[in-house]
Chains A and B, each alone.
Chain A
């Protein structure tokens, strides 16, 4: 079974700083997808960024970028120029449709609570 580990339960940075959230995963699959989701106090889970394992290039979405290290099974999220609205729980998630009979249930980590201080 796949596992996702987020080793930082909580992080706090000042507004405008850059912050990196860590995620490691364990799988025997070669092809899979990785995601970062944001869950603000309003509880709506929002997709931040998506990475396909067979793509070497790291995904970016505006101020959000990832550092995907396939051999190390590491998938960290970097948030540049952090804003107060970035305060939220951040979840790393994994899926491999090739191991689930073609279906795609996500396996989530326990999350990192990110606090942006003014």
Chain B
């Protein structure tokens, strides 16, 4: 079983619509959680951290469910520029990160 699992997608989303997807992680002792965004042929870039209480950054909302060991990301009012691969990232500690394989989102006009 992979340490971080994501639905690879693609999620095809009409512009202006809402899309949400999850990832699950296996290490219950994981300390920190993040969503990164990776554009084609580019490096991953930190999108947002995920806190236990849930957090919002503009059109993006992240939730953490420690009991069920999953993280979610919701994108509202999707823009064409939101098309990317979204990487679920878990920090088990010791400065290391564990990456999911990514969920591809394609926003269409």
Partners in one complex: no
* Interface of B toward A, CB cutoff 8 Å: none
* Interface of A toward B, CB cutoff 8 Å: none
